[in-house]
Amino acid sequence: MAELQKEFMDFKTFNFHSSIAAGIEAAGYQTPTPIQRKAIPAILKGQDIMGLAQTGTGKTAAFVLPILERLADGGRGFVRALVVAPTRELAEQINDNICTLGQKTGLRSISIYGGVNINAQIARLARGVEIIVACPGRLLDHLKQQTVSLSRLEVLVLDEADHMFDMGFFPDIKRIMQQLPARRQNLLFSATMPREILHLAREVLHQPVTIQIGITAPADTVTHAIYPVAHHLKTRLLLELLKNTNTESVLIFTRTKHRAKRIGEQLAKKGFKAASIQGNLSQNRRREALNGFRDGTYQILVATDIAARGIDVSGVSHVINYDIPNTPDAYIHRIGRTGRAASTGEAFTLVTDDDINLVRGIERVLGARIKSKVLDDFDYDIPAPKNNQEFARPPRKPVPRYKSIHKQKKTGPKPPGSTSSAETKSARPQQRPAGSKSAARSKPRSGGGSFRPRRSR
């Protein structure tokens, strides 16, 4: 392998078509990354690949370049390569890479995903494309409407496969694969390799070459710290951290899209140049927030794991976990966005007493204890409000009375003594059972210790 690393220290050694070499030069690529050195030769030989690599390792170019080389000669006007990605942002990002690297080849590509008008996509597909980058749901829509044919496909790429599993896309992927020819090259990339991904790999890949890059631990250039805090004080502590830390570009992760939106709004009100991306935003708003974070318009981007998966932004100085991730793999993937290219980065995680077991799991993967810190001037003893409304959803708007009257005119008056379903619903006592989620949240976990903040003397 060391000989292979030396052999491909320059993109010229891959002997790409001159039109592709021009795209590499236009993109400013000079030295192949480790996954590019290992994956490109195998893909050029037509082998199936199972690649384990995180965001920021250069894996997109690792499969885009050899695909462009394969498609540079051959038929045009029909789909020859398909890349399946879990999110709209990642699909657009991959398509942008294809357009940049393949700008001199004459090959045409399109990204298709939901949340936008399908008719514009149908028109583009009708004009003929050779490469499609798609999210599973919208691709199935096109297959059902027969606005795209994959019968002559040569290469299939499943990118961020573990995240597609997390989002429940596996049934969709299997339905898509039923539309593909049996003879094709398959490339599967994933940041982690749970059992479900291994099962998928066995179904899809034929005698694959396995390539693993930087999956077991985060970069040495990242320093880690946890900040113990009560749940109701998280936002206060986050604001103090941002005020007292010398930051350049900050990525904040939350567990829910509602929380991402509210924190983004609160930071903006406090004068920070902040934006958020989450599933409820329109595609244009998401693109605006992401591009603003890239060009420095926004210093802070608040995101959920789903919205941020695959986002490749250089120069992130800090990653802050407002909510601790559910698995060590997710933690490594989150903080992999800082400390890149020999730059240093910091990863802060706000933790409550309920998070002890998750912290211990992350420490086992890191092979070291994470330093616990407190802010000297922060008041950790502020009591929780009786009714904490910080992240409560706004109440639903009442249904206008005229709608009920209009409905009654259509259906006719109800018999005396009868009640409508709405009346029946309102008459029910609005009490949660003792075992409900809201009741469970108020109960502290038994065992495992406590993260009570203590200042060093």
Cα-Cα end-to-end distance for the chain: 52
| CA atoms of 315 and 301, how far apart (whole Å) | 13
pLDDT at 332: 79
Other CB atoms within a 10 A radius of the CB of residue 278 amount to 22
Helix 59-71 to helix 88-101 angle (10° resolution) is: 50
pLDDT at 367: 82
The pTM (predicted TM-score) of the whole model is 0.64
pLDDT at 191: 77
Query: Which tokens sit at 422?
Result: 């709405």
| CA atoms of 327 and 17, how far apart (whole Å) | 43
pLDDT at 337: 73
List the domain boundaries for the chain.
2-213, 222-372
The sheet with strand 250-254 has its strands ordered as: 274-277, 300-304, 250-254, 318-321, 345-351, 222-228, 371-372
| CA atoms of 16 and 260, how far apart (whole Å) | 43
| CA atoms of 391 and 265, how far apart (whole Å) | 12
Token pair 């299997």 is at which residue? 174
pLDDT at 229: 95
pLDDT at 452: 61
Q: What φ, ψ does residue 231 adopt, rounded to 5°? A: -60, -40
- Mean pLDDT in each 10-residue stretch from start to end of the chain (457 residues)? 54 93 91 91 96 79 96 94 92 94 96 93 96 97 96 96 84 94 95 82 93 66 91 94 89 91 93 87 80 90 74 80 87 74 79 92 87 92 76 55 46 46 41 44 45 56
Tell me which CATH homologous superfamily contains domain 222-372. P-loop containing nucleotide triphosphate hydrolases (3.40.50.300)
| CA atoms of 23 and 44, how far apart (whole Å) | 17
Asked, colleague to colleague, whether 2-213 and 222-372 share their fold, the answer is yes
Q: Tell me which amino acid residue 406 is.
A: H
| CA atoms of 330 and 325, how far apart (whole Å) | 6
Q: At a CB cut-off of 8 Å and minimum separation 6, what does 32 contact?
A: 8, 9, 10, 11, 14, 40, 58
Helices (H), 387-434: 401-411, 421-427
Could you confirm whether domain 2-213 is CATH 3.40.50.300?
Answer: yes
